[in-house]
Amino acid sequence: MQLVNGTQLVAVVIAGGSGTRFWPLSTADRPKQFLALFGQRTLLQATVDRLQGLVPPERTLIVTAARFAGTVRAQLPHIPLGNIIAEPQARDTAAAIALAGLVCRRRFGNPVMAVLPADHVIEPAAAFHRALRSAAAAARGTGRLYTFGIRPTYPATGYGYLQAGEPAAPPAGEDDGELPHFRVQQFREKPTRDVAEEYVRAGNYYWNSGMFVWSTDTLLAAVERYLPEHARRLFPLEAYIDTPQWEEQLAAAFGRVPKISVDYGIMEKAAEVYMIAAPFRWSDVGGWAALADFLDQDAAGNAVRGVVHGLDARGNVVFCEDASEVVALVGVEDLIVVRAGNRTLVARKDRVEDVKRLVEAMGQPGSG
């Protein structure tokens, strides 16, 4: 049995997202991955911290928007500067990941890549390492495209689903044999409520976590096959990696790459897609309401960060960027109250989806 050693992996952290769901804490200049929503570390820092013991900083790449490169550097001072890949424009995840694949091949040969969004919460790290090792071992030299499926805890309509097909034993001797692998029968887009309920009842549907594990050659072959325009525009850049012409060449080519996600562009089309049912707890912390699970709870079921005094106040989520702020609640239920700088949000919990609409109407750019 050959367990994969961490140094054989390259982590590709996707940190380019912009977003307004966490307004007023997040702004156009400071999207979710750069926020410390709980504890002292930002989601990006926690994502890299979580790799400790499995992937060293030298083999950790961060793909981000050029305008966020300074923020990434400041938040991750131990990551080599050359490992921060700055996209001159936002061209969605397929382009970002293909670019990272080229850097992997140029610098490391044909490593297994672990593609990880920068803004998820995953616990505990040991279970996450185990899943990454298992996927990496199964992906090496087999042409498999791996993803992690999250067993749904409710009929979510905000996630895509993976329909698990037959169990797929990892190649003999290549795994610790304990985690269930499946062939993915189909990728399903975000369902309606009714369909989501069917999925949960059926039992073989999993949330698409947006994490991927594959060997570099497998990824780049898939790009060539399913996204030929990406290949035509991006593959010639490989020769310029770590040369003085890199930025100029990247700027000339990148803006012409079609905007498409890796899910739509590759995963939905490819045959050799596999999943591991994740042995870890996962959240994409999609908005203020989702954050409640990660905050302290008071006796009345309010999830709080900050000094919160309540009188007949139940089920509220209160978040203060400056944890020494004082918030008093009287007679209110199921509200989201957020304080950040000179900005305050008060929203009904079941209307947080609309924060995005309001912020856009207020003239705050961003789309997440």
What is the binding site for a copy of itself (CB under 8 A)?
Answer: 23-24, 309-312, 322, 324-332, 335, 337, 339, 342-348, 350-352, 354-355, 357-359, 361-362
Nearer to a copy of itself, 298 or 325 (CB): 325
Asked whether the beta carbons of 214 and 141 are under 8 A apart, the reply is no
Nearer to a copy of itself, 10 or 355 (CB): 355
Least CB distance from residue 197 to a copy of itself, whole Å?
Answer: 25
Asked whether the beta carbons of 104 and 113 are under 8 A apart, the reply is yes
Least CB distance from residue 364 to a copy of itself, whole Å?
Answer: 10
**Ramachandran bin of 149, using left for φ above 0, alpha for ψ from -120 to 50, beta for the remaining angles:** beta
| Terminal Cα distance for the chain, rounded | 43
Which residues neighbour 172 within 8 Å (Cβ) at sequence distance 6 or greater? none
Least CB distance from residue 285 to a copy of itself, whole Å?
Answer: 19
- Say how far apart CA 177 and CA 133 lie, in whole Å: 11
Nearer to a copy of itself, 4 or 352 (CB): 352
Ranges of H-type helices in 177-318: 193-202, 216-226, 228-234, 246-254, 262, 288-291
Residue 266: count of CB within 10 angstroms of its CB: 25
Least CB distance from residue 323 to a copy of itself, whole Å?
Answer: 11
Q: Residues 86, 76, 80, CA angle at the centre, nearest 5°?
A: 65
Nearer to a copy of itself, 150 or 345 (CB): 345
Asked whether the beta carbons of 180 and 149 are under 8 A apart, the reply is no
Cis ω for the linkage preceding 167 (within 30 of 0): no
Least CB distance from residue 272 to a copy of itself, whole Å?
Answer: 44
Nearer to a copy of itself, 35 or 150 (CB): 35
Least CB distance from residue 352 to a copy of itself, whole Å?
Answer: 7
Least CB distance from residue 23 to a copy of itself, whole Å?
Answer: 7
Least CB distance from residue 345 to a copy of itself, whole Å?
Answer: 5
Question: What are the phi and psi torsion angles at 313 (to 5°)?
Answer: -120, 120
Nearer to a copy of itself, 65 or 303 (CB): 303
Nearer to a copy of itself, 272 or 325 (CB): 325
| Nearest one of 155, 156, 139 to 147, comparing CA atoms | 139
Which residues neighbour 362 within 8 Å (Cβ) at sequence distance 6 or greater? none
Beta-bridge partner residues of 117: 14
DSSP code, position 169: P
Nearer to a copy of itself, 252 or 362 (CB): 362
